[in-house]
Amino acid sequence: MTSEKITAAAAGTWNLGDLTVNRIGFGAMRLTGSAAFHHGTPSDRDRSIAVLRRAIELGVNHIDTAAFYFSSLRSANELINSALAPYADELVIAAKVGPFRDYSGEWGTSARPEDLRGHVEENLRQLGRDHLDVVYLRRMRQDSIAEHFGALAELRDAGLIRHLAVSDVEPRHLAEALAIAPVVSVQNKYGLDFPDPGTDALVRTCGEQGIAFVPFFAIAGKGGALGPGDTADDEVLAVARAHGASPAQIRLAWTLQQGPHVLAIPGTGNPDHLAENVAAGALRLTDDEMARLDALHTRGQ
């Protein structure tokens, strides 16, 4: 499919609280290089900045980032600050807190509730902002998130955060959070290649409650943080051929058609891939194609 003139508006919009975003956004993790959490090849800084600016030109107004998105020479937040500050009023920047990496890149223990203010302030410092639009509490294997989420709710009351969200959670964790403060979004691993009945149910629950569901690794599949592999199921390839699209675009289109509350934040450091990802928001799969892909999704359940 031709992607040059398609903007993120083609996917439609959703409200994160009082903030309206196009349903195709941008994930910043892969801006930093070939292995954002390891010591792979650092990205070309000028190219990463150009990708961010091109994303805005293509109508992207929702960027997902974190202070722990860095490689040996690159920081996603610093790149965003350099490319986009001063920020447009309509640009929504979401950050995640909870996990921690030291300056050598090694993962530390998960944050205690009293650590979260420092995590929020570090994101603010790197981004050059006085508040964060959306902050996800990324659960790090805790059985209960109530104490951690309560700490973030206090930071929202203090004006450092506008809206609260949760990540890597089960329905019981979402219920815990909602008992403390409103939740505008849930971010979990989800995609065509992840057959997980629990996550499928959580997607439906979010839709019923008017909460956005924002999957990560929707394109990458089993490749996870290392990115998509070179293989695609025959069913995905057949649908892609019918639309003159790539398998990645079909994966994104399938994801978006799970409900109007489902957003996408595909990440890339490649300007051509960026345009393809944004253009996927204009794809509309037929009922028959969705049924075939749904069967592929549930095959391993």
Residues acting as catalytic residues: 69
Closest CA to 35 of 1, 9, 73, 79: 73
If one counts every other C-beta atom within 10 angstroms of the C-beta of residue 30, the result is 26
**Residue 161: CB partners within 8 Å, gap ≥ 6?**
120, 131, 132, 134, 135, 152, 155
Backbone angles phi, psi at 249, to 5 degrees: -65, -35
| Strands 185-187 vs 26-27: parallel, antiparallel or unpaired | unpaired
Under a CB-based contact definition with an 8 Å cutoff, are residues 263 and 23 in contact? yes
* Torsional sign, CA 257, 237, 8, 213: positive
Residue 14, helix vs strand vs coil: strand
Closest CA to 136 of 102, 174, 105, 108: 174
Give the C-alpha separation, 109 to 215, whole Å: 24
Cα distances (Å, whole numbers) of residue 251 to 152, 213, 291? 33, 16, 14
Burial zone of 172 (CB within 10 Å; 0-12 exposed, 13-18 middle, 19+ buried): exposed
Cross-strand bridge partners of residue 13: 22
